[in-house]
Structure 1
Amino acid sequence: MTETNPDMFIIGHYRQWIERLHPKEASIWPLISGYNCRIGSFKGWLVIIFTHTGNTGFVESNGVGELSDALIGANSIDESNREIVRSKIETHFMLQPRDGVVFIEHNSKLSHSELVALTYRHELALGLAPMKIFLSHKGFDKPLVRKFKTTLVLLGFDPWLDEDNMPAGTKLERGILKGFDDSCAAVFFVTPQFKDEDFIASEVDYAIEQKRKKGDKFSIITLVFGDGAAKGKVPDLLHGYVWKEPKSELEALQEIIRALPIHVGYVRWR
């Protein structure tokens, strides 16, 4: 990497990457079609903060020096907190969906994971990445959950439901883990039939793991339903997260939308 022009180095690689993945959109892709950048550092890491301009004729690049622990929200950057730190920087510099933050460790190459993170951010900005929401439930409650899935699809989401997303022959644990990796939220439908055991226990563990990894970009949404005097019991590991007891299915849907880490799309003519 050229130390004096890390932004050009990154954008060059990003352009080649996007031309392979999205050749039709490459010419209008965020940052590739024009950017400004601010270059900072943090304890051995280069932090490149890109702002999309859509103007390839002029690039403005400024240094912002060594970033503080208070801004970063941690005393180091590593694989376990990188997405949380990225989110802190995005918030501090008031970045928009077509902007982005890239980390490069000193004397290291641009990592594949950084390209993937930047690509996913921009796919979301361009409406090219369906928003997956993992729907966790007991089989007994599948008729209820199917109704939520149908409504979420109408709203433009891509809900993950085991019967639709795991073809015959898929290993259950592997299929469920992939569902969580691809999702921006997990919704737990806690009914009197919901028990913290077997695959449900795994799904609770996976949700917490995704929350730690993705930070503000992943939501754990727990909805508690009752059946007469009986009421669902929230698993102990989810007690650290807020849960809601909706009085109706409509109220439950509102709680899901409100808790998601993303904005519902603009209302527009079909």
Structure 2
Amino acid sequence: MRPPSRGDVPPSYDIMMRVYGDQVRKRHPDQVHRWPLLPGFDVRIGTHKGWNIHLFKHTGIKAVMNFAEIGELSDAVIGANTIDAASMEPIRKRLEAHFDLGPRDAVVFERNGGFTQHEIDYMLQKHEEAMGLGSVRIFLSHKGADKPLVRRFKETLSLLGFDPWIDEDAMPAGTNLERGLLKGFEDSCAVVFFITPRFVDENYLATEVDYARQQLRGKGEKRFRIITLLFDGADEKHVPQLLRSYVFNRSYDDLEALRHILKALPVELGPVHWKQP
């Protein structure tokens, strides 16, 4: 590898890091100066059957950036024959281990020129976790008839420092429903399914279950959990078939249900502090 001048930096990296930096400044303006990759990075570029794979290594040295091409990566290194939506996250984890990349680094996939928003969102979430700022959003899945029940949990979880996601609050009028749901799941560290006898699939329940399973496969249990709670006389027959492979709890009151949620989450509550006057 050789240290290029700034003029040798491929334009696509400048564009990507500008977009990425704008998102970091919007969400964490006081952290930009020490954010992973933004102060400087090295990158190795590999390929696999039409994909470009960028292996970013945080250095914190902006004046000197090393770029190196490492050629076509074999199926053995990739761990799969092809890269697609289902295999991308397991491949990413495999490459992080193979190339000894840490929490402040990144593996980014690119095809047909340019970096997608999905890859920038992945970097942001990964680096938020590295900075101790991981998502504390919790997706609350429920039927409209159970809204009063779910709102009680939303209020309590908000007091505990979480950011509960409810469709009518999180999606302004005009939002594409499926796109809004997917974004809600991508931003969350868990989903809680509130199962009552009214929890039947009239419209988007199957979609929400699919999105939840997709997030669990991609993020793993350390970063995402599926939590299923039964209320108001609901039993196993009310649990959607796709959720029956996951542990579910019968909750006899709100307090017990809240305990189930807090114990199942992949994040921990922090220390208690005195309120500021």
TM-score (structure 2 length as normaliser):
0.69
Q: Does 1:135 align with 2:137?
A: no
**Distance verdict in 2 for CA 1:127–1:163, change over 3 Å:** farther
Please tell me whether the aligned partners of residues 123 and 129 of structure 1 are also in contact (alpha carbons under 8 angstroms): yes
Q: Distance in 2 between matches of 1:37 and 1:265?
A: 36
Please tell me whether the aligned partners of residues 224 and 231 of structure 1 are also in contact (alpha carbons under 8 angstroms): no
Please tell me whether the aligned partners of residues 137 and 162 of structure 2 are also in contact (alpha carbons under 8 angstroms): yes
Give the aligned partner of residue 114 of structure 2.
Answer: 110
**Distance verdict in 2 for CA 1:138–1:51, change over 3 Å:** same
Q: Does 1:253 align with 2:261?
A: yes
Please tell me whether the aligned partners of residues 53 and 109 of structure 2 are also in contact (alpha carbons under 8 angstroms): yes
Q: Deviations over 1:157-178 (max 9, x none)?
A: 3211134224466675665454
**Distance verdict in 2 for CA 1:131–1:95, change over 3 Å:** farther
Q: Does 1:42 align with 2:44?
A: no
Q: Distance in 1 between matches of 2:77 and 2:272?
A: 37
Deviates more, 1:172-181 or 1:8-17: 172-181
SS in 2 for 1:197: coil
Aligned with 2:151 (options 139, 146, 153): 146
Q: State the Cα RMSD in Å.
A: 3.9
Give the aligned partner of residue 165 of structure 1.
Answer: 170
Aligned with 1:87 (options 87, 93, 99): 93
**Distance verdict in 2 for CA 1:19–1:100, change over 3 Å:** closer
Give the aligned partner of residue 104 of structure 2.
Answer: 98
**Distance verdict in 2 for CA 1:146–1:59, change over 3 Å:** same
Give the aligned partner of residue 59 of structure 2.
Answer: 53
1:188 corresponds to which letter in structure 2?
A: F
Please tell me whether the aligned partners of residues 224 and 234 of structure 1 are also in contact (alpha carbons under 8 angstroms): no
Q: Deviations over 1:156-207 (max 9, x none)?
A: 4321113422446667566545433543432212233322333434433443
**Distance verdict in 2 for CA 1:164–1:127, change over 3 Å:** farther
**Distance verdict in 2 for CA 1:103–1:205, change over 3 Å:** closer
Please tell me whether the aligned partners of residues 41 and 57 of structure 2 are also in contact (alpha carbons under 8 angstroms): yes
Q: Deviations over 1:50-79 (max 9, x none)?
A: 222323465566776654434433211134
Q: Distance in 2 between matches of 1:183 and 1:39?
A: 30
**Distance verdict in 2 for CA 1:77–1:62, change over 3 Å:** same
Q: Deviations over 1:207-240 (max 9, x none)?
A: 345556x453874514232546x5252211223x
SS in 2 for 1:198: coil
Please tell me whether the aligned partners of residues 139 and 184 of structure 2 are also in contact (alpha carbons under 8 angstroms): yes
Q: Does 1:17 align with 2:19?
A: yes
2:185 corresponds to which letter in structure 1?
A: F
TM-score (structure 1 length as normaliser):
0.71
**Distance verdict in 2 for CA 1:166–1:118, change over 3 Å:** closer
1:243 corresponds to which letter in structure 2?
A: V
**Distance verdict in 2 for CA 1:61–1:154, change over 3 Å:** farther
**Distance verdict in 2 for CA 1:41–1:146, change over 3 Å:** same
Q: Distance in 1 between matches of 2:122 and 2:94?
A: 15
SS in 2 for 1:189: strand
Tell me by how many angstroms 1:136 deviates: 0.6
Q: Distance in 1 between matches of 2:182 and 2:155?
A: 23
Please tell me whether the aligned partners of residues 40 and 64 of structure 1 are also in contact (alpha carbons under 8 angstroms): yes
Q: Percent identity?
A: 44
Please tell me whether the aligned partners of residues 137 and 190 of structure 1 are also in contact (alpha carbons under 8 angstroms): yes
Matches within 5 A, 1:140-219: 140-167=145-172, 175-208=180-213, 210=215, 214-216=218-220, 219=224
Give the aligned partner of residue 31 of structure 1.
Answer: 37
